[in-house]
Amino acid sequence: AQSVTQLGSHVSVSEGALVLLRCNYSSSVPPYLFWYVQYPNQGLQLLLKYTSAATLVKGINGFEAEFKKSETSFHLTKPSAHMSDAAEYFCAVSEADSWGKLQFGAGTQVVVTP
Amino acid sequence: DAGVTQSPTHLIKTRGQQVTLRCSPKSGHDTVSWYQQALGQGPQFIFQYYEEEERQRGNFPDRFSGHQFPNYSSELNVNALLLGDSALYLCASSSLYLGTEHEQFFGPGTRLTVL
């Protein structure tokens, strides 16, 4: 069974600093990988997805993530944090034959300080 | 283009009661999945409906059941509510027909509180 681990439940960054959120997965074959963002009292918004094309994936709001098969990782980065980036971020995976069934990590809460 | 919509927004029930939550998928989508998100946790997959049938199911008891209608909308029913069922219930839709089955769009959720 696949699983997703997000390292760090809370991350605090200064405005303008690099944002780095870590995600590792366990799967027998490279899965489909996603990053979602959730603002307070809202649903989930897709930031970006990896579907076996380019290993460096660019998403919305300046975020990008790199798929590293050898490390079974899919870390999310943004070069310069903005106050509006304060939210909870979830890494998720699904397998090719289980489309529509996402396995989520526990989430990382991002706080941006002025 | 309307996204995924869910109703109601909030709901308060007492233990032992039954509840029905509703979801309308994004226009053009044919598949609906339901997730439970407890406070401070990531969403947990409950089940998925495609062609009006339950296609996949997560590790949830039979108290959780669902339905998909011919217009692709869906309901989630929970019987004999427990305090632990208090959570945000999220609906997500995707499209096998359009080949975007792995990209799920989420609704705003229904906040269920069980007292």
> Cα(B32)–Cα(B106) distance, rounded to whole angstroms?
10
> Cα(A10)–Cα(A107) distance, rounded to whole angstroms?
9
Closest CB to B31 among A45, A100, A105: A100
pLDDT in tens, A72-99: 999 999 999 999 999 999 999 988 777 7
Residues 6+ apart with CB under 8 A from B105: A46, B3, B4, B26, B29, B92, B93, B94
Q: What is the pLDDT of residue A28?
A: 67
Residues 6+ apart with CB under 8 A from B91: B4, B6, B21, B23, B25, B32, B33, B34, B35, B74, B76, B106, B107, B109
Q: How confident is the model at residue A52 (pLDDT cuts 50, 70, 90)?
A: confident
Chain centroid to CA B64: 10
More confident residue, A30 or B100: B100
Contact B101 A42 (CB under 8 A): no
pLDDT in tens, B49-88: 999 999 999 999 999 999 999 999 999 999 999 999 999 9
> Cα(B78)–Cα(A71) distance, rounded to whole angstroms?
40
Nearest chain A CA: its distance from B55 CA (Å):
10
Q: What is the pLDDT of residue B82?
A: 98
Residue of chain B whose Cα is closest to the Cα of A51: B102
* Closest among B75, B95, B76, B99 to B31, alpha carbons compared: B95
pLDDT in tens, A9-51: 999 999 999 999 999 998 767 678 999 999 988 889 999 998 8
Nearest chain A CA: its distance from B21 CA (Å):
15
Residue of chain A whose Cα is closest to the Cα of B30: A100
Q: What is the mean pLDDT of residues B3-15?
A: 96
For chain A, list residues whose CB is within 8 angstroms of any CB belonging to chain B.
32, 36, 42-46, 49, 51, 90, 92, 94, 98-107
Mutate to test the interface with A, among B32, B45, B68, B111 (most CBs of A within 10 A): B45
What value does the mean pLDDT of chain B take? 94
Residue B107 has pLDDT above 80, yes or no: yes
Chain A residues in contact with B35 by the CB 8 A cut-off are 102
What value does the mean pLDDT of chain A take? 91
Q: What is the pLDDT of residue B1?
A: 65
Q: Which residue has the tokens 């995976």?
A: A93
Contact A46 B105 (CB under 8 A): yes
